[in-house]
Chains A and B, each alone.
Chain A
Amino acid sequence: MKPAPFEYHAPDSLEQVLDLISQHADEAKILAGGQSLVPAMNFRVVQPSVVIDLNRVAELSYIRENGNVIRIGSMARERHLEFDLSIAKRIPLMTETVPFIAHPQIRNRATIGGSIVHADPAAELPVLMLALSARLKAKKVSGERWIDAQDFFAGMFTTALEPDEILAEIELPFMPPRTGWSFMEVAPRAGDYALMGVAALVTLEKNAKCKQAKLVYLNAGDGPVDAKEAAKILEGEKLNDKLIESSARLASEKEINPFGNIHTSPDFQRHLANVLTKKALKQAIHRAEENLQ
């Protein structure tokens, strides 16, 4: 029994959750999959005096299509994302990325909401939120608000959520037509946090010129890093190796800011970013071309 004592609540409706969090905002922690929170409590890095468990709130666990977006309840497990057919069809970048997160035993419990709110710069899902231009719905007793993914991540393990708010829903637009995607990362061992990783999206015009591109990196700064300049130089152009090379250089040398860790130096991370960007862009472009017809 390693964690410090706490008062445990397991409400079964969202309304009760919001009531509880409004009463205990400063001392409470929300428990989702527990795959990041419980280790932190076991180490006593975190010692909440109140724990509000979302695992019995069925209304927070869903994945559904709605018009041209997919809505995902914050308690959808990473395993659900991995095997959901509508995600596979509409947002294949996510289907391809989720298996890189941890191991099946972890993904069975860990949730999309937990990963996003945890905001680990090395995590995959925050990167996807930026790459896919997600909107995140925050709720509290007095109401709700939508936050664009680019305004949500506020630094290392920090988000725009207020202490009395929870993340309730994630809204992801379908990937547009003629879009190719790729996710690549390098990790010391399958399932470990990666040393470097990138999500690439390329949308082509009917004439095969690049309409829009996205390059978002993990473990490359104090949150997911959107390399806007590296993406911008691709737009409006017919893509070739030279452009890909320049984009990779711009992203890896200028736009990312990796810190290094016990497994890697910042220089090696920049090297990986360069190599991964080229590979990922090529794969994304190839897939977009296949979608041109």
Chain B
Amino acid sequence: MTQTLPVTITVNEKEYKCEVESRLLLSDFLRHELGLTGTHVGCEHGACGACTILFDGESARSCLMFAVQADGHTLTTVEGLAPSLSSSPAGGKEGELHPLQQSFWEAHGLQCGYCTPGILMSMIPFLQKNPNPTEDEIRHALSGNLCRCTGYQHIVDAVKLAAEKMK
């Protein structure tokens, strides 16, 4: 029994019309159907945060949703932060890294980078709501994203730097 359903989903300001199987996870849809492999998959049960995207502007785990549920909704993935063509829904400029990405670059906020897209997509709404976060608030906001390389300190530094840049 394979059921497929038509969906229209806007991702990084581009509209996609596709047929998807009902059991297709949103994370797999983004990666395998749209080729947006910036959204990573670590655990597929909500624990690691690597698959975090913006769903109607709010951070959410794409591994805990089905692609059919995104029908009619607006998504932003890490590819939407520094877009090559259109202006970024999250506020970056063409041809440049988003200030949050730039800060991760400058403050060495990543090593292997596996966790980075999920962290960026968690920090975008966090910094929008908390433009002047304390270190404690930053650490708390990062608690839903696992990083197995950095020990977190440089990630915290990068988010602090980003808050400065984005003022």
Contact = CB atoms under 8 A, between A and B. Distances in A.
A82 to B, nearest CB: 12
Task: Bin chain B's interface residue count.
Answer: 35 or more
Nearest to A187: B143
A103 B5 contact: no
A246 to B, nearest CB: 35
A42 B143 contact: no
Interface in A161-205: 189-191
B156 to A, nearest CB: 14
B59 A49 contact: no
A52 to B, nearest CB: 12
Interface string A14-42: 00000000000000000000110011011
Nearest to A51: B22
A5 B64 contact: no
Contact of A8 (B45, B59, B66, B125): B66
Contacts of B157: none
Interface residues of A, number: 31
Contacts of B55: 108-109
A6 B23 contact: yes
Interface string B40-79: 0000111001001001001111011110110100000000
Interface SS of chain A: loop
Contacts of A105: 49, 52, 59-61, 122, 144
B144 A34 contact: no
A190 B3 contact: no
A4 B23 CA distance: 7
B58 A102 contact: no
A202 B49 CA distance: 38
Interface in A83-107: 102-106
Contacts of A10: 68-69, 71
A14 B69 CA distance: 17
Contact of B64 (A6, A38, A43, A55): A38
B24 interface: yes
Contacts of A262: none
B9 interface: no
Contacts of A6: 3, 22-23
Interface string B85-114: 000000000000000000000000000000
Nearest to A55: B69
Contact of A49 (B1, B5, B65, B66): B1
B46 A191 contact: no
A41 B44 CA distance: 10
A104 B141 contact: yes
Q: Which of B49, B52, B64 has the most CB of A within 10 A?
A: B64
B44 to A, nearest CB: 5
A79 B28 CA distance: 26
A109 B21 contact: no
A3 interface: yes
A245 to B, nearest CB: 32
A5 B68 contact: no
B63 A1 contact: no
Given A5-B22, A104-B126, A109 B65 contact: yes
B17 interface: no
B2 interface: yes
Interface in A41-77: 41-43, 49, 51, 53, 55
B1 A108 contact: no
Contacts of B126: 104
A39 B55 CA distance: 18
Given A7-B3, A79-B58, 13 more contacts: A1-B21, A1-B25, A7-B22, A8-B22, A35-B64, A53-B68, A53-B69, A103-B144, A104-B141, A104-B144, A105-B60, A105-B122, A108-B59
For the complex of A and B, 8 pairs with smallest distance between CB atoms: A103-B144, A8-B22, A39-B45, A190-B143, A38-B64, A105-B59, A3-B23, A108-B58
8 contacts: A2-B25, A4-B23, A7-B1, A8-B66, A38-B64, A104-B126, A105-B49, A109-B65
